[in-house]
């Protein structure tokens, strides 16, 4: 199965990716059982574990408890997978700036705020949430749990055999141990290969949901293309070699982003469907939260990646909140030249929104750091625009 | 509660967990008479107090782990914990909030984590032993801690990483509870450690 997918990807790369003729068929939607109850010892045990986890997560401070945001996300899930399927889902948004989401076997869906920051429209978000729901519907956690247990058993027994050969073996000791090690490697490799196959199946089922939904199916591939560029930017900033997208690593849990972008784009073209991107509704729903999500992203200490992401979010038009975030990013790195750039971004933010108090704060702090006495006036302006600022005491000390 | 597979991974078991919860509840009620205190099982809180409770449960877990690491093993004691007879650990006075006006003086936190070695694991253990390698079958951890709700101080903590008593049975649960509450402050008749 994996070999087939790899050769398929290669074929697409040779031709123009978007017009690759033979896309993999997406599955027809399986019949859905409402209020499914776990069966057997293993599945009931897994559900129990995640029920316990969910009880803890529900009361966690990391979870965003905003009724408006929750209602919007529920709407997205329901429009993606259909109203009967979405009834089983409980959604939790956690404050985590990484690009991720997950779904537990008991129907607990966890969305990282980093995914909400990076999605450009409702269709992209729908594609990822559909992928997570597909893991749930296909009961992937249970299958992988069983496989991991079997793999662990084999690795343990083969290990004992190797130990036995070492303790009691004669002339063949070396070859027994070497064979034992290859068996262990093969079993572990198979486990990861199966995990990647599950991801691919979830991608395909997500495309099936998208086909039946009001959303535009091409958006899923767009997300992966941008993800690769962001990862490259992060690697560049950290002076690391970027990820290889043309081959699969032994311990890779997912197919490469390039592989996914390629087969998802081909499938989307095959469906011949033009749907709704839902950009306006998405941006409206995120208005209140984007400054918070940007703030979390800035704390990742990922200058290049964040700068790239801000550019992606801005597109052709830099809005005051993005300009302010960029100012904070440059001020955070803090070289004298960065402070000059930061002041420029804050000023641009102010030309879009003249009462942006935090931008004055940024200007003031950056100017003071570069020994510019004008900084005091900017900080005073900040305090007059935001008299109840949480850092009032600290800033007041600076302006005296 | 669950089993430990041959390869050592944890296999959660819903039935055993439900049985163990019931059995431990019964055993705890029976043990009450010897504790010199009235023990009330806390209701699951809702709303704001649920968050406070979750915070303090998490804080207690961290505190208990710190006590186990930095107090229980003399060789690993922090310089501030070396004074003889000193047991100075606290959750802070804010913990009074979890009493929620119930008039409780102390909070008792109990944790149990059990993995029973499967038949395959036990066989692996035997064969590995023949090769001279030690394999651990099963995993039975538990701890109990008592917190003074007026000051937040931890007054007593009992931790055992190899507990006895099969909590899937009523008798085993009684043995487990008596081990967990061994030397409980103010108890009238300290239970002998029956391992």
* B14 in any annotated domain: yes
Question: Which residue on chain A is closest to B120 by alpha carbon?
Answer: A153
Task: Tell whether B170 is within 8 A of chain A (Cβ).
Answer: no
| CA dihedral over A347, A348, A349, A355, signed as positive or negative | positive
pLDDT confidence of residue A239 = 92
Question: Which residue on chain B is closest to A154 by alpha carbon?
Answer: B7
pLDDT confidence of residue A205 = 92
Q: Which of A38, A45, A163 sits opposite B133 (nearest CB)?
A: A163
DSSP assigned state of A324: H
Give the pLDDT band (50/70/90) at residue A13.
very low
DSSP string, A45-66: HHHHHHHHHHHHHHT-TTEE--
- The alpha-carbon gap from B139 to the nearest alpha carbon of chain A, in Å, equals 17
**Whether residue B166 has pLDDT greater than 60:** yes
- Placement of tokens 């709407």 in the chain: A75
Strand partners, B162: B140
A167 to B130: CB separation less than 8 angstroms, yes or no: yes
Lowest mean pLDDT among A81-95, A267-281, A320-334, B152-166: B152-166
Question: Which residue on chain B is closest to A44 by alpha carbon?
Answer: B14
CA distances from A249 to A11, A223, A224, A253 (A): 20, 22, 18, 9
Chain B positions touching A38 (Cβ under 8 A) are: 14
Pairing of strands A90-94, A101-103: unpaired
* B151 in any annotated domain: yes
Which own/partner pairs from A201-204 qualify as long-range (CB within 8 Å, at least 24 positions apart)? Answer: A201/A134, A201/A138, A201/A140, A202/A131, A202/A132, A202/A134, A202/A135, A202/A138, A202/A140, A203/A131, A203/A134, A203/A255, A203/A260, A203/A263, A203/A264, A204/A24, A204/A26, A204/A27, A204/A134, A204/A267
pLDDT confidence of residue A90 = 95
Mean pLDDT, residues A260-270 taken together: 91
Report the Cα B142 to chain-centroid distance in Å. Answer: 4
- The alpha-carbon gap from A95 to the nearest alpha carbon of chain B, in Å, equals 16
Residues 6+ apart with CB under 8 A from A71: none
The per-residue pLDDT for range A174-188, each reduced to its tens digit, is 888 888 889 999 988
Helix %, strand %, coil % of chain A (to 5): 70, 5, 30
Strand partners, A94: A63, A112
Chain B positions touching A153 (Cβ under 8 A) are: 5-7, 120
B128 to A160: CB separation less than 8 angstroms, yes or no: yes
Strand partners, B12: B2
The per-residue pLDDT for range B82-118, each reduced to its tens digit, is 887 788 899 988 888 887 767 788 888 888 788 888 8
Mean pLDDT, residues A38-44 taken together: 89
Lowest mean pLDDT among A330-334, B99-103, B124-128: B99-103
Lowest mean pLDDT among A57-71, A159-173, A337-351: A159-173
* B11 in any annotated domain: yes
Q: Which of A340, A328, A264, A342 is nearest to A298 (CA)?
A: A328
Chain A positions touching B2 (Cβ under 8 A) are: 45
The per-residue pLDDT for range B48-94, each reduced to its tens digit, is 778 888 888 889 888 988 888 888 888 888 888 888 778 889 998 88
- The alpha-carbon gap from B92 to the nearest alpha carbon of chain A, in Å, equals 19
Whether A308 and A229 have beta carbons less than 8 Å apart is answered as yes
DSSP string, chain B: -EEE-TTS-EEE-HHHHHHHHHHHHHHHHHHHHHHTS---PPPPP-THHHHHHHHHHHHHHHHHHHHHHHTSSGGG--GGG-STT----B--GGGGGGGTTS--SEEEEEEEEEEEEPHHHHHHHHHHHHTT------EEEEEEEEEETTT-BEEEEEEESB--S-TTSHHHHHHHHHHHTTT-TT-SSPPP---
pLDDT confidence of residue B188 = 53
**Whether residue A54 has pLDDT greater than 90:** yes
The number of folded domains in chain B is 1
Give the pLDDT band (50/70/90) at residue A274.
confident
Chain B positions touching A61 (Cβ under 8 A) are: 51, 55
**Whether residue B190 has pLDDT greater than 70:** no
Percent of chain A with pLDDT over 70: 94
DSSP string, A9-25: HHHHHHS-GGG-S-PPP
Task: Tell whether B189 is within 8 A of chain A (Cβ).
Answer: no
- The alpha-carbon gap from A393 to the nearest alpha carbon of chain B, in Å, equals 25
**Whether residue A145 has pLDDT greater than 90:** no
Chain A positions touching B7 (Cβ under 8 A) are: 149, 151-156
Lowest mean pLDDT among A109-118, A132-141, A368-377, B181-190: B181-190
Q: What mean pLDDT is reported for chain A?
A: 89
Residue A30 Ramachandran class (φ > 0 left, ψ -120 to 50 alpha, else beta): beta
pLDDT confidence of residue A314 = 93
Q: Which of B13, B50, B131 sits opposite A160 (nearest CB)?
A: B131
B14 to A44: CB separation less than 8 angstroms, yes or no: yes
Mean pLDDT, residues A24-31 taken together: 83
* B186 in any annotated domain: no
Largest CA distance in chain B: 60
B133 to A153: CB separation less than 8 angstroms, yes or no: no
Chain B positions touching A148 (Cβ under 8 A) are: 9
B51 to A167: CB separation less than 8 angstroms, yes or no: no
The per-residue pLDDT for range A65-100, each reduced to its tens digit, is 999 999 999 999 999 999 889 988 999 999 999 999
A148 to B9: CB separation less than 8 angstroms, yes or no: yes
User: Is A102 in a helix, a strand, or coil?
Assistant: strand
**Whether residue A126 has pLDDT greater than 70:** yes
**Whether residue A260 has pLDDT greater than 50:** yes
* Residues of the domain holding B102: 2-181
* B162 in any annotated domain: yes
Question: Which residue on chain A is closest to B49 by alpha carbon?
Answer: A59
pLDDT confidence of residue A34 = 75
Higher pLDDT, A330 or A19: A330
Whether A299 and A97 have beta carbons less than 8 Å apart is answered as yes
| CA dihedral over B122, B124, B125, B126, signed as positive or negative | positive
Q: How far apart (Å, rounded) are the C-alpha atoms in residues A138 and A157? A: 30
Q: How far apart (Å, rounded) are the C-alpha atoms in residues B70 and B83? A: 13
pLDDT confidence of residue B192 = 46
ipTM summary value: 0.78
pLDDT confidence of residue A1 = 37
Give the pLDDT band (50/70/90) at residue B187.
low
**Whether residue A196 has pLDDT greater than 80:** yes
pLDDT confidence of residue A99 = 94
Q: What mean pLDDT is reported for chain B?
A: 81
Token readout for A48 is 């129990």
Task: Tell whether B43 is within 8 A of chain A (Cβ).
Answer: no
Residues 6+ apart with CB under 8 A from A194: A144, A147
CA distances from A87 to A68, A123, A281 (A): 18, 20, 22
pLDDT confidence of residue B186 = 67
pLDDT confidence of residue A22 = 66
- The alpha-carbon gap from A160 to the nearest alpha carbon of chain B, in Å, equals 6
The per-residue pLDDT for range A209-257, each reduced to its tens digit, is 999 999 999 999 999 999 999 999 999 999 998 887 888 888 888 888 8
* B187 in any annotated domain: no
A59 to B14: CB separation less than 8 angstroms, yes or no: no
* B72 in any annotated domain: yes
* B69 in any annotated domain: yes
B55 to A152: CB separation less than 8 angstroms, yes or no: no
Mean pLDDT, residues A326-336 taken together: 95
pLDDT confidence of residue A2 = 39
**Whether residue A17 has pLDDT greater than 50:** no
Whether A105 and A139 have beta carbons less than 8 Å apart is answered as yes
**Whether residue A29 has pLDDT greater than 90:** no
């Amino acid at each position: 199965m994996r070999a087939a997918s790899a050769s398929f990807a290669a074929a697409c790369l040779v031709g123009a990716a978007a017009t690759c003729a033979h896309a993999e068929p997406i599955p027809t939607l399986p019949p859905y059982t409402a209020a499914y109850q776990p069966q057997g010892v293993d599945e009931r045990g897994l559900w129990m574990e995640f029920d316990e986890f969910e009880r803890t997560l529900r009361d966690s401070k990391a979870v965003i408890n905003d009724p408006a945001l929750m209602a919007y996300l529920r709407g997205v899930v329901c429009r993606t997978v259909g109203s009967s399927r979405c009834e089983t889902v409980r959604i939790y948004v956690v404050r985590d700036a990484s690009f991720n989401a997950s779904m537990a076997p008991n129907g607990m869906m966890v969305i990282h705020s980093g995914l909400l920051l990076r999605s450009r429209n409702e269709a992209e978000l729908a594609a990822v949430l559909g992928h997570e729901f597909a893991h749930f519907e296909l009961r992937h956690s249970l299958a992988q749990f069983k496989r991991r247990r079997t793999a662990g058993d084999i690795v343990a027994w083969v290990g004992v055999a190797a130990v036995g050969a070492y303790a009691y073996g004669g002339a063949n000791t070396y070859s027994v141990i070497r064979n034992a090690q290859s068996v262990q490697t093969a079993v572990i490799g198979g486990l990861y290969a199966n995990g990647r196959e599950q991801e691919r199946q979830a991608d395909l089922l997500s495309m099936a949901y998208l086909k039946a939904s009001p959303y535009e199916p091409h958006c899923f591939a767009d997300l992966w293309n941008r993800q690769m560029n962001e990862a490259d930017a992060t690697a560049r900033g950290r002076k690391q070699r970027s990820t290889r997208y043309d081959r699969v690593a032994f311990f890779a849990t997912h197919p490469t982003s390039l592989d996914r972008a390629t087969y998802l784009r081909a499938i989307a073209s095959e469906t011949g469907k033009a749907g709704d991107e839902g950009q306006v509704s998405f941006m409206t729903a995120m208005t209140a939260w984007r400054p918070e999500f940007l703030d979390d992203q800035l704390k990742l200490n990922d200058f290049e990646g964040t700068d790239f992401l801000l550019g992606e979010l801005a597109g052709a038009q830099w809005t005051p909140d993005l300009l302010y975030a960029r100012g904070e990013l440059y001020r955070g790195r803090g070289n004298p030249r960065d402070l000059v750039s930061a002041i420029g971004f804050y000023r641009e933010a102010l030309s879009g929104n003249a009462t942006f108090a935090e931008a004055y704060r940024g200007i003031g702090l950056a100017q003071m750091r570069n020994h510019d006495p004008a900084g005091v006036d900017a900080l005073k302006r900040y305090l007059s625009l935001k008299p109840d600022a949480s850092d009032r005491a600290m800033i007041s000390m600076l302006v005296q | 509660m669950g089993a430990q597979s041959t390869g050592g991974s944890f296999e959660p078991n819903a039935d055993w967990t439900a049985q163990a919860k019931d059995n431990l509840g019964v055993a705890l009620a029976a043990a009450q008479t010897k504790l010199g205190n009235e023990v009330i099982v806390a209701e699951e809180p809702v709303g704001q107090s649920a968050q406070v409770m979750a915070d303090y449960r998490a804080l207690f877990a961290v505190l208990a782990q710190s006590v186990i690491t930095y107090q229980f093993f003399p060789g690993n004691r922090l310089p501030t914990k070396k004074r003889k007879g000193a047991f100075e650990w606290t959750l802070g006075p804010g913990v009074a909030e979890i009493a929620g006006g119930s008039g409780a003086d102390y909070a008792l936190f109990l944790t149990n984590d059990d993995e029973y070695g499967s038949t395959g694991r036990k066989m692996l253990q035997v064969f590995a032993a023949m090769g001279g390698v030690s394999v651990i079958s099963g995993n039975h951890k538990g701890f109990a801690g008592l917190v003074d709700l007026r000051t937040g101080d931890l007054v007593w903590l009992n931790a055992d990483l190899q507990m006895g008593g099969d909590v899937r049975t009523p008798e085993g649960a009684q043995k487990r509870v008596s081990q967990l509450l061994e030397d409980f402050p103010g108890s009238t008749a300290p239970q002998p450690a029956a391992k």
